[in-house]
């Protein structure tokens, strides 16, 4: 018997996080441009190529949606591998930046425009038809800034039978060790049970591992893998993580990539 489930609150976080990104979209792109390639997409804050992790299948000829796409670098990379991509984000500023990157990629590729459709919208309620995509994914997008109790069932609804959902996020372990002063600790500073909405400058979301598993089951998703990534040897810090945070991640799982399939 499943344990009691969490209730999804009113999504006021969508407006709040939209304002947060409105102020940061351009500076974020400038700060992280080297870690956001538009070829051979890389996962999460440790920049591990999807070609190494195989979290996503061969996407050539597939319909793919990115939920919380930012400036759509990941979608651009997949489109250059033959995918038909829809990049959805709730920030108009990010959509503008994505249009600029697509124009640049078109010029680099000899006038061939990557097959990326940009869509301004809410990953928790996309309004798109059922079973529209072969693959859905989120790389620290909807998976961090949207409520999983809303966006995971929505992603599952959008998938065709046998479709793949993959997404990255910080681990519950890192979340409970993340200090309010914006650094990590070797001791827990937050409650694990009841973990859901985390108030910071933006509103973030996470769940205990058991709640993640029950959510996937309710959404008709089967777990294929859960990859706990680690910093590469020689990485001391990057634009996402301080030296202390990188060292923490060498000892304990700091980020996770869930790989899930919808029942055929």
Residue 7 confidence (pLDDT): 45
Residue 1 has pLDDT above 50, yes or no: no
11, 80, 165, 212, 255 from 171: Cα distances, Å: 22, 30, 17, 11, 5
Angstrom distance (rounded) from CA 7 to CA 114:
40
Residue 146 has pLDDT above 60, yes or no: yes
- List 199's β-bridge partners, or say none: 203
Output the CA angle 17-174-245, nearest 5 degrees. Answer: 95
Tell which CATH architecture fits domain 12-262: 3-Layer(aba) Sandwich (3.40)
Positive/negative CA dihedral, 102, 73, 59, 108:
positive
Which token pair is 112?
């061939």
Average pLDDT over residues 193-209: 91
Average pLDDT over residues 214-220: 98
pLDDT tens for 121-134 read: 999 999 999 999 99
Task: Tell me if 256 sits within 8 A of 55, measured CB to CB.
Answer: no
Residue 181 has pLDDT above 90, yes or no: no
Residue 4: pLDDT band (50, 70, 90) is: very low
Residue 104 has pLDDT above 60, yes or no: yes
Residue 102 has pLDDT above 80, yes or no: yes
Number of H helices, E strands in the chain: 9, 13
Report for 89-93, 195-199, 209-213: range of highest mean pLDDT: 209-213
Residue 156 confidence (pLDDT): 98
Angstrom distance (rounded) from CA 205 to CA 250:
23
**What are the helix (H) ranges across 61-130?**
73-79, 92-108
């Amino acid at each position: 018997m499943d344990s009691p489930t969490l209730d999804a609150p009113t999504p006021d976080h969508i407006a709040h996080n939209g304002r947060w990104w409105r102020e940061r979209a351009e500076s974020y792109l400038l700060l992280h441009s080297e870690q956001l390639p538009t070829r051979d997409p890389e996962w999460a804050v440790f920049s591990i190529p999807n070609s190494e992790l195989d979290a996503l299948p061969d996407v050539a000829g597939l319909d793919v949606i990115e939920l919380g796409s930012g400036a759509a670098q990941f979608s651009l990379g997949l489109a250059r591998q033959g995918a038909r991509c829809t990049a959805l984000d709730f920030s108009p500023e990010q959509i503008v930046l994505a249009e600029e990157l697509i124009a640049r990629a078109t010029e680099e590729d000899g006038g061939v425009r990557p097959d990326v459709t940009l869509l301004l919208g809410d990953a928790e309620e996309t309004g798109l038809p059922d079973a529209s995509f072969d693959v859905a994914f989120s790389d620290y997008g909807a998976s961090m800034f949207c409520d999983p109790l809303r966006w995971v069932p929505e992603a599952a609804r959008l998938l065709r039978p046998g479709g793949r959902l993959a997404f990255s996020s910080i681990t519950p372990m890192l979340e409970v060790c993340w200090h309010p002063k914006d650094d990590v600790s070797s001791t827990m500073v937050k409650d694990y049970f009841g973990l859901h909405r985390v108030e910071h400058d933006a509103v973030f979301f996470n769940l205990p591992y058991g709640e993640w598993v029950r959510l996937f089951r309710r959404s008709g998703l089967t777990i294929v893998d859960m990859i706990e990534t680690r910093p590469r040897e020689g990485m001391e810090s990057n634009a996402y993580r301080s030296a202390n945070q990188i060292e923490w991640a060498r000892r304990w799982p700091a980020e996770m990539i869930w790989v899930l399939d919808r029942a055929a």
